[in-house]
């Protein structure tokens, strides 16, 4: 695996992965499906200001380095953790208004 670098990303720091991180990386790479990919879905009642929500997500990502980390293989065996500096761009937030769908369609 080669190091992936996105345009515009500024690396804040790089360090060797802990034994636990190395194990998670190994098992994730050996699996045919992503073992450690987590996605959050939740319902909100009432009005949602999507711009305020996006800014809140950006604040969380900017504040917590773990949400800006990525892993790559350096050489043959060394798993490295790269922390990306906070960016000015808003983090990707997918918003879908499903208020007009029935319960059956929502579960799809």
Residue at 23 is within a domain: yes
Give domain status of residue 27, yes or no: yes
Question: Exposed (0-12), middle (13-18) or buried (19+): which is 79, by Cβ within 10 Å?
Answer: buried
Rounded Cα distance, 14 and 85, in Å: 11
61 is in which domain, residue-wise?
Answer: 1-35+57-88
Q: How many domains is the chain partitioned into structurally? A: 1
- Over residues 51-89, the pLDDT tens digits come to 898 888 888 888 888 787 877 777 777 778 777 777 755
Residues 38-61, mean pLDDT to the nearest whole number: 82
Question: In the structure encoding, which two tokens stand for residue 101, read together?
Answer: 């769908």
Look at residue 95 and tell me if it is in a domain. no
* Other C-beta atoms lying within 10 Å of the C-beta of residue 35: 11
What's the pLDDT score for residue 2? 36
Q: Do 60 and 67 meet the contact criterion of CB atoms below 8 Å apart?
A: yes
Q: How far apart are CA 18 and CA 9, in angstroms?
A: 23
CA distance 57 to 51: 10
Euclidean distance between CA atoms 29 and 26, whole angstroms: 5
Residue 102 lies inside a defined structural domain of this protein: no
Residue 10 falls inside a structural domain = yes
Task: Work out the percent of the chain whose per-residue pLDDT is above 90.
Answer: 2
Residue 67 placed within a domain: yes
Q: Are 30 and 103 in contact (CB under 8 A)?
A: no
In a domain, 70, yes or no: yes
């Amino acid at each position: 695996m080669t190091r992936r670098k996105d345009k515009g990303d500024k690396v804040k720091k790089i360090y060797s992965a802990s034994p636990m991180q190395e194990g998670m990386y190994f098992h994730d790479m050996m699996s045919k499906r992503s073992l450690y990919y987590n996605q959050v879905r939740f319902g909100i009642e009432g009005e949602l200001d999507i711009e305020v929500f996006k800014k809140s997500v950006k604040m969380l990502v900017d504040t917590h380095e773990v949400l800006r980390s990525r892993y790559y293989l350096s050489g043959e065996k060394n798993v490295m953790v790269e922390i990306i500096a906070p960016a000015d761009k808003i983090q990707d937030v997918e918003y879908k208004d499903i208020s007009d769908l029935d319960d059956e369609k929502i579960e799809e």
